Chain A
Amino acid sequence: MRSIRRSDARLTLGAGLLCVAMGCASVLWVAAVGGCGDPRSGPRWTGAHPGVETPRRGGTFVFHHETDVRGFDPHVAFDELSTMGVKLMFDCLLDYDYELNLVPSLAAALPDVSADGKTFTFRLRRGVRFHNGRELTADDVRWSLERMLNPATASPGVGYFAQLDGAAAYEAGRAPHVSGIVVLDRYTVRFQLREPDQTFLNALAMPFAAPVPRESYAPGARDVARHPVGTGPFMLVDWEPGIRVTFARNPRYWQPGKPYVDRMIFELNLQREAAFMRFLAGDLDHVHRLTPADRLFLGESRAWGPYRQAQADADLWGLEMNTEMAPFDDVHVRRAVAFVIDRERWSLARNHALAPLGQALPAGFAGYDARLPGVQTRDLVRAREEMRLAGHPDGLRAPVTLWIGEGPTGKIYGELAQANLAEIGIQIELKPVAYPVYLRETGRRHTAQMVYGGWTQDFPDPATFFDPLFHSRSATSTDATNRSFYRNSTLDALLDRARSERDRARRVAMYREANELVTRDAPWAFAFSSSRLEAWQPYVHGYRIHPVWTNCFRDVWLDLPRERITRRYAPRATMPAALLPFGAPR
């Protein structure tokens, strides 16, 4: 008995001593090698020809994401990850340039639009070939759109094409074709709409409208999500599920000279920490998902300065208040919340990974106005005044439930809101729920009082925010996207008119009016747009953050240092090279 006790004591003492020793060792270690966030540690390699701006061909570009790809069927893919790959392999009739203009892509020019704004005639670029070698024709455009609209495809994109004449009849199986898509000749296709809709061209630029060859996508074709065939600059070579996807240059690409890069490797399943370390080690050419600490380091690093870009996303985040439920059925309470949110403080708490915003449209959108009357800003006096007008000068007696998604991010904003709202006497109870539950319950009428949530653009047009978030049509009893269940007939009419208005200036004015209306009525306390930070290796050229497509690498070219070419991602990496310690060939 005694010996056992003695050995126990020795064990405890030993473990304690070991702990102390390990602690000392780690302090010494950090002191000796320096922290990872050492601002002096810059890029490992520069390009071989610094300063030369003529695109060079060749090389392998390596990028990454956190999870796994679902599939590359352009008519079905609806998540960021899959769309990244889809944008490499598919083209649409139209695309966006970096200034948000619609530009022709597979179309030879922008379409001819009829006087009533309901007919769009496209002439196709000639000589465009699919990856399988066959030429793209107007028939393919029609066949692909019909495939997407076919209920058997279960495309999430159907709703964007609801204005097409005959689409409903085709979807219901009452017509063999969509009457609003007319093939005029081999290279000409005409779209006929029921009502004029200015967002139709935006819809045509979405991957949902990408032409695909019928022979590869006809019903019965094997697993089209894994065997994509498009017209884009890259082709799928290899897909190791959960590990990586490899793309190779499309030798028949219609844009002369492009693409520049021979191969692209999409590394999957890389957690943020590991991805950033790989980036610093030179094994990733681009990094975009960062932990708060890495983001802070990268944003402040002088060495990385020329090779990084920060840009506000086209999205909208804030507190959605259920206008059908007390206390938010009272506009004054909603306004009080909108005025008490301290957006600058939120930004500070997130290391400025967000751009404060107090209106219904992100900066840069038509209808956004930095000096919008009634813009939501932090104003404690006005917030208290609104609470008095609502008849609650001393705050609310009952606490309010705020639904947040499970996980650290939702919790941070929940707690920030909690602190802010306490200032006007509103107690918040946080309700963190798993994401699938969050989506189902917050989209159900009379369920969630208040929701922390956001919305990202589908295309760069104000309708992408207003129609799903604030139109009464979107306040369905279940699966609502209008989660504040806001109904305003004036706004509905304004939005419907704006959607079809062809005069650009008048249209912008309408959306500005809608913006002011929603901002004043405050179904949301608008808080911020998120802001992304991306970085790339010095030898990566031709990349900028695209305002619509996340991580669009189509125009990238590489000025590779010699060492980089011979390393891990060279085709057929030999084992000894891979076994060498990382630093050896540096």
Chain B
Amino acid sequence: MMRFAAKRAAWALVVLFVVVTGVFLLANAVGDPAAANLGPRANRAQLQAYRRAHGLDRPLPERYAKYVLGLAHGDLGISLRDEQPVGQVLLQRLPRTALLGGMALAFELCLGLGFGIVAAMRRNTWVDTAVMSTAFLGVCLPSFVVGPFFLREVAFRLGWFPVGGYGRDALDHVYHATLPALTLAILGSATYARVMRSEMIEVLRADFVRTARAKGASETAVVLRHAARNALLPIVTMLGLSLPLLVTGAIITESIYGWPGVGRLAIESIAALDVPMILGIVLLASMTVQLGNFLADLAVAALDPRIRTGAGG
């Protein structure tokens, strides 16, 4: 088990290193951060002063070495855009994105699992068709369609929710996050519903379910306690894979609703060619992907004894 974890960690480090190097080179090759930050009105003297002040006039290898060295000390550098420490800004943005992502995941699971179970139980009836058609449609609705629609109709016209923004205190944040979370959930829940349905159909046919029924367990107990719990296995893997959503956020949805999370930050940093901030976000994202995969592996092993004996030995 420890060897497995150590191997994964080593691989993760290699991946992170490759990602950081690649993004560093790309971001610096794309354009001039000085011009991107000062805008078209800046003249040569202004640009040169900016480059000097931010160390952009140093040769690329030197800047790279300095960055990696800082990284080794846990220093993500200073943002070019607003002169704040990158780590601090990310820490500030993370909880906001986590709130939105967490709510989105919760909605996805509620909708997706519910839909999937209902469809599986009423397999090949009109209920199944209706539920799965809705899910099918959900997969086809991108957030840049659903987002503005919700904003205009549900928030503005019906007035049930605020028109974008973040709110003032904890409850208010939840209230403000509801629509963006729903927007995200519509897409995600459809996938969950489809997976859950087919898993449930599989499990409902299994011997232990028949045994449970034969013992005289109620239908609710059979479905929820015996069948659904066993159908959750692939869902756990999917959950692990969607962990990055909690961290990197949903760039488009956050922009539509003006949600001040990591996704929105990513867009602004790219526009300003804020190399340290872009690198920070990419690092965070790839770390989360690694972690998500790792956790998914662990969880599956914990849930399924067959896998546990295979990998843990």
Contact = CB atoms under 8 A, between A and B. Distances in A.
A382 to B, nearest CB: 31
B45 A11 contact: no
B16 interface: no
Interface string A20-44: 0010000001000100100000000
A251 to B, nearest CB: 25
Interface stretch (B155-163, B205-213, B289-297): B155-163
In order of increasing CB-CB distance, the 4 nearest A-B pairs are A436-B31, A582-B159, A14-B133, A242-B260
B264 A78 contact: no
A458 B43 CA distance: 12
Contact of B45 (A3, A19, A159, A271): A159
Contacts of B48: 479
Nearest to A71: B82
B133 A269 contact: no
A504 interface: no
A224 to B, nearest CB: 10
Contacts of A581: 158-160
A33 B31 contact: no
Interface of A: 3, 7, 10-11, 13-15, 17-19, 22, 29, 33, 36, 67-71, 78-79, 151-152, 154-156, 158-159, 223, 225, 240-243, 267-271, 273-274, 277-278, 280-281, 283, 434-440, 443, 453-456, 458, 468, 474, 476, 478-481, 573, 575, 578-579, 581-583
B33 interface: yes
A439 B31 contact: yes
A310 to B, nearest CB: 24
A440 B32 contact: yes
8 contacts: A7-B128, A14-B136, A79-B39, A152-B53, A156-B50, A440-B31, A440-B35, A479-B43
B168 interface: yes
Nearest to B157: A33
A455 B40 CA distance: 8
Contacts of A19: 137
A151 B169 CA distance: 42
Contacts of A15: 133, 136-137
A436 B169 contact: no
A225 B82 contact: yes
Given A68-B268, A479-B43, A17 B49 contact: no
Contacts of B271: 435
Interface string B115-137: 00000000010001110111011
B172 A156 contact: no
Contact of B260 (A11, A151, A241, A277): A241
Contact of A7 (B36, B92, B124, B169): B124
A476 B47 CA distance: 12
A151 B49 contact: yes
A578 B175 contact: yes
Interface string B63-99: 0000000000000000001111000010011000000
B127 to A, nearest CB: 11
Given A156-B42, A436-B273, A280 B156 contact: yes
Contacts of A71: 82-83
Nearest to B53: A154
B119 to A, nearest CB: 10
A38 to B, nearest CB: 11
A71 B37 CA distance: 12
A583 B161 CA distance: 10
A322 B48 CA distance: 23
Given A154-B50, A575-B169, A271 B255 contact: yes
Contacts of B234: none
Interface string B141-168: 0000000100111011111101111111
Contacts of A575: 169, 171-172
Interface centre among A269, A277, A454, A581 (most CB of B within 10 A): A269
Contacts of A468: 41, 43
